[in-house]
Structure 1
């Protein structure tokens, strides 16, 4: 599946490692659980990855349709779900071209996945795709990093030594922000005794007023804008934007 996202997935080549990194994080899951209807109607998770949220929600009785563009992440999610004894409906899909057999009252996306939509066109396509799968008055909840200019303006370099797969690995990282495209390019080089490899990711930053315009343009009311999944008040120094929107 070749598209805008195909060359931006190298950070996810090891699903188990990715899953272990975030397994103890539950703030987004707690937020989602608090906003779900007690009726347990089918829900849709975009960019569901290794099933960190989908599996516990399925355990609670929700029918979860999860989509992700990375087949390796979904394969790992299927294995986890099998071990946990739960059923998930998982499919490899581009979130800008969703094709699911249901419409839902509730769609969510976490992990700052919104930053993978690098262009205005793909952001628009995402919202159009979500609308096709939401019932009237349905809710769409997602997060993205808030652009803090004084941090993005300076090119960042970092070097550290970590223990990975039983050996010491030197990691050299670089981050550079393009203010015209609003895209942060992150690159890491990993060097061990016998091996060197590189990965990277491009992340689009969207400003609060842009977000409000996007929501309005695509027929959503902004119910709340939080600074974190723990519902911190959003302000200019907030690390995150957690968007809670409702389709008109």
Structure 2
């Protein structure tokens, strides 16, 4: 689900855990509005385990899933087979796509855009997307909003959330530690999962690290324009609420103009 698999993949090395912690499909109704033709090819970049790919395929759309991470793609293939869904899967770097086809709709969700840490990687991504879109085709992606609250978090262990692991009935308390590098605009997150049994006894702990790039709206405006796209809309969520200074994320809808 990312480009530097060796150096930035800890969050994705356990696809089953990923599915447990990411069992939502809030993007699907929004994307369905742009997938106007059931027989059109839709490309899901950084598709992971098929969290969004599968629901769209179940609606009858022809979806192609692309991801660089072997474990995530293998998990996606297995899930598609269980559902008897005919989906093409490609293990490729989104910076250097070679799908031998073009689409009218490409999307990248789950804030995966933040895995492209350098200007060069962002440029390569947009170049690849442009090459695989038909003229007037649409590219939709989201990325977290670089708010003061988001970037200037204390670099101490902070409680995030608690969930129940359905496979074991254990309780998992999730904490994070974050450090922001202002020069590189990259946030390092350490996620700490403290696992407890039904007696509330600590029985294990799992830690993962990830690095995420935060890109500001005016930077994105320039980037999108430079790669021959125009911005159709910017929202603060998948329910199409207008973006504001208090936004948590940004959802971009872009059209290829040349």
Are 1:15 and 2:6 an aligned pair? no
Give me the CA root mean square deviation. 2.1
Kept in 1, the 8 Å contact 2:187–2:212? The answer is: yes
Equivalence for 1:239: 248
Equivalence for 1:131: 130
User: How far is the alpha carbon of 1:59 from its aligned partner?
Assistant: 2.0
- The total of aligned residue pairs comes to 246
TM-score between both structures, scaled by the size of structure 2: 0.87
User: How far is the alpha carbon of 1:163 from its aligned partner?
Assistant: 5.7
Whole-angstrom CA distance in 2 between matches of 1:178 and 1:217: 26
2:180 to 163, 177, 185: 177
Write the deviation string for residues 17-67 of structure 1: whole angstroms up to 9, x where unpaired: 2223222x2321110001112252111010111112111222222221110
Q: Which runs of 5+ in 2 are unaligned?
A: 196-201
CA shift in 2, pair 1:161/1:242, >3 Å: closer
2:233 counterpart SS class: strand
Whole-angstrom CA distance in 1 between matches of 2:231 and 2:162: 43
Matches within 5 A, 1:7-46: 7-23=7-23, 25-46=24-45
Matches within 5 A, 1:95-244: 95-156=94-155, 157-159=157-159, 165-167=168-170, 172-190=175-193, 196-244=205-253
Equivalence for 1:66: 65
Kept in 2, the 8 Å contact 1:5–1:116? The answer is: no
CA shift in 2, pair 1:153/1:82, >3 Å: same
Whole-angstrom CA distance in 1 between matches of 2:194 and 2:36: 48
Whole-angstrom CA distance in 1 between matches of 2:116 and 2:100: 24
1:144 counterpart SS class: strand
TM-score between both structures, scaled by the size of structure 1: 0.91
Select between 206-215 and 171-180 the one with higher mean Cα deviation: 171-180
Write the deviation string for residues 200-244 of structure 1: whole angstroms up to 9, x where unpaired: 111110100001000001000100011111000011111110000
Write the deviation string for residues 109-149 of structure 1: whole angstroms up to 9, x where unpaired: 10000000011110000000111111111100000000002
Equivalence for 2:4: 4
Whole-angstrom CA distance in 2 between matches of 1:93 and 1:114: 15
Whole-angstrom CA distance in 2 between matches of 1:62 and 1:189: 37
CA shift in 2, pair 1:194/1:138, >3 Å: same
User: How far is the alpha carbon of 1:107 from its aligned partner?
Assistant: 0.3
